[in-house]
């Protein structure tokens, strides 16, 4: 029986979930190799929500204190629930959805989060400018898989983990189809507003120190402070929930760009009936990024094939309305690290171990996908109970319960039961 440290693990993609997996493996004494297509680490996007489940994992990995050092009140989680208001003038409060202390979250700049994670990696195991174009799928327990890169180089690995995002060009290895990505009927205008800039313009922003979702008809605006409170993270959504995903009236071609830099005028026009204070803050975004949010749709039948596994957005990219997409990738990466470093996981049984990963992670992440889509509808006034105060309260209440039900260690115990029943582990 080979030792866990003998497993050769290749992680394709150097984003949050791939690096989390690598960090978790490092803590277990395994140095996975990361292959990143770009010339350096760097997440795209603005703020990211690190939810309760991810914070459990960050604490286990020794990263929790570094995260909390970046919050407006250092040492404290800066998302302790959300306030819901109407987006119209006066931003009438609908209700507050407080969280228990074990449900608190952290809002942080993506790049800052990535920098914190990378500090826990040995740089010699990261390989930049390595775009993976194919992986041979090992079946029936051959010795390894081969990853092929666009520069003609190849590497052999016992396990290949595909963590290269929603645009993952290798998803077809698992699914057999060219693309399982589709436009999620959501456009998001994103940007960061420096508090210093709002002060120069005489804009009052203290009301928005509390994480808030401002709801409008088929729109929502999420605002909360990051970077020690010096910056307001803005995510302004325009939605088309009246259509099914993939409907020809709203579908976008796979080759269409997912990111555009647009004018401030376009953003203000989309939210012209919103509160004047919010519009003043939006006016500080000179050139907002316009994101066409793609999702994995329909749900995949499997995240694994042979010695190759999907994780993160490559497996289950979702709309961001539960602030759980990154968290689901972090949960994927953490469980994979626990399984691949387990003393009873070997090169001979690793395919069965990956099947157990799929059996546990796929149902949970796809349920969170469904809940995120439902939350998006409710936050855009399109929930089943209608665009009224009582309707929104009814549709939003409890929507976080499932995603917050995660308990560190439970999934590993589920896998242990499965593998012992199959006599893979003893």
Position 271 pLDDT exceeds 80: yes
pLDDT of residue 1: 40
Q: Taken in order 344, 348, 354, 360, is the CA torsion positive or negative?
A: negative
Position 402 pLDDT exceeds 80: yes
- The H or E element that residue 420 is part of is helix 410-421
Both tokens of 183, joined, read 């436009």
Q: Which of 50, 192, 43, 51 is nearest to 111 (CA)?
A: 43
List the Cα angle 264/49/45 in 5-degree steps: 40
pLDDT of residue 138: 62
CB 310 within 8 A of CB 170: no
Q: Which of 193, 169, 215, 180 is nearest to 385 (CA)?
A: 215
Which tens digits make up the pLDDT trace of 122-134?
999 999 999 999 9
Which tens digits make up the pLDDT trace of 130-147?
999 999 876 655 678 999
Domain chopping of the chain, boundaries: 4-79+103-179+300-421, 181-296
pLDDT band at 228 (very low <50, low <70, confident <90, very high): confident
Mean pLDDT within 218-224: 95
Average pLDDT, the chain: 93
pLDDT band at 6 (very low <50, low <70, confident <90, very high): confident
CB 70 within 8 A of CB 63: no
Mean pLDDT within 259-271: 97
Mean pLDDT within 285-298: 95
Position 118 pLDDT exceeds 90: yes
Comparing 42 with 272, which gets the higher pLDDT? 272
**Residues, the chain, total?**
426
- Give the 3-state secondary structure of residue 349: coil
Tell me the C-alpha distance between 372 and 238, whole Å.
15
pLDDT of residue 141: 56
pLDDT of residue 2: 43
Which tens digits make up the pLDDT trace of 355-397?
999 999 999 999 999 999 999 999 999 999 999 999 999 999 9
pTM for this prediction? 0.94
pLDDT of residue 42: 75
Tell me the C-alpha distance between 182 and 165, whole Å.
13
Which tens digits make up the pLDDT trace of 321-358?
998 999 999 999 999 999 999 999 999 999 999 999 99
Tell me the C-alpha distance between 36 and 407, whole Å.
31
pLDDT of residue 109: 86
Tell me the C-alpha distance between 57 and 133, whole Å.
31
Count CB atoms within 10 A of the CB of residue 180: 21
CB 17 within 8 A of CB 162: no
* pLDDT-above-70 percentage for the chain: 97
CATH homologous superfamily for the domain 4-79+103-179+300-421: FAD/NAD(P)-binding domain (3.50.50.60)
- Give the 3-state secondary structure of residue 105: strand
Which tens digits make up the pLDDT trace of 14-50?
999 999 999 999 999 999 999 999 999 876 666 788 9
Comparing 310 with 253, which gets the higher pLDDT? 310
pLDDT of residue 323: 87
Q: Taken in order 243, 262, 252, 135, is the CA torsion positive or negative?
A: negative
Structural class in CATH, domain 181-296: alpha beta
pLDDT of residue 43: 62
pLDDT of residue 44: 62
3 state SS for 169-204: CCCHHHHCCCCCEEEEEEEEEEEEEEHHHHHHCCCC
């Amino acid at each position: 029986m080979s030792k866990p440290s003998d497993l050769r693990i290749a992680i394709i993609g150097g984003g949050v979930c791939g690096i989390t997996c690598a960090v978790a493996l490092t803590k277990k004494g395994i140095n996975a190799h990361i292959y990143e297509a770009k010339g350096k680490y760097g997440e795209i996007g603005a703020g990211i929500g690190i939810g309760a489940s991810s914070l459990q994992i960050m604490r286990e990995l020794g990263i929790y204190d570094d995260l909390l050092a970046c919050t407006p009140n250092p040492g404290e989680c800066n998302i302790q629930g959300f306030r819901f208001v109407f987006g119209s003038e006066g931003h009438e409060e609908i209700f507050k959805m407080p969280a228990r202390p074990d449900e608190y979250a952290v809002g942080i700049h993506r790049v800052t989060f990535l920098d914190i994670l990378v500090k826990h990696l040995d740089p010699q195991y990261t390989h930049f400018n390595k775009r993976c174009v194919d992986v041979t799928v090992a079946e029936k327990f051959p010795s390894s898989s081969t990853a092929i890169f666009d520069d003609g180089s190849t590497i052999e690995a016992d396990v290949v983990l595909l963590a290269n995002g929603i645009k993952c060009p290798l998803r077809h290895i698992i699914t057999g189809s060219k693309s399982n990505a589709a436009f999620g009927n959501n456009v998001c205008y994103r940007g960061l507003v420096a508090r210093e800039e709002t002060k120069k313009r005489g804009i009052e922003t203290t009301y928005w120190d509390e994480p808030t979702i401002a709801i409008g008809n088929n729109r929502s605006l999420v605002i909360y402070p990051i970077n020690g409170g010096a910056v307001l993270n803005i995510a302004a959504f325009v939605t088309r929930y009246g259509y099914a995903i993939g409907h020809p009236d709203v579908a976008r071609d796979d080759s269409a760009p997912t990111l555009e830099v647009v004018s401030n005028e376009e953003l203000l026009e989309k939210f012209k009936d919103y509160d004047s204070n919010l519009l003043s803050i939006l006016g500080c975004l000179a050139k907002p990024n316009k994101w066409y949010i793609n999702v994995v749709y329909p749900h995949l039948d499997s995240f694994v094939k042979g010695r190759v596994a999907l994780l993160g957005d490559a497996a289950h990219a979702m709309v961001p309305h539960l602030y759980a997409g990154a968290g689901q990738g972090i949960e994927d990466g953490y469980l994979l690290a626990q399984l691949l470093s387990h003393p009873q996981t070997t090169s001979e049984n690793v395919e069965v171990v990956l099947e157990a990963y799929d059996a546990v992670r796929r149902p949970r992440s796809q349920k969170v996908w469904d809940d995120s889509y439902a939350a998006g509808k409710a936050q855009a006034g399109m929930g089943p109970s209608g665009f009224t105060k009582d309707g929104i309260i009814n549709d939003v209440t409890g929507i976080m319960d499932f995603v917050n039900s995660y308990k560190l260690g439970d999934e590993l115990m589920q896998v242990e039961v499965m593998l012992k029943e199959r006599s893979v582990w003893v």
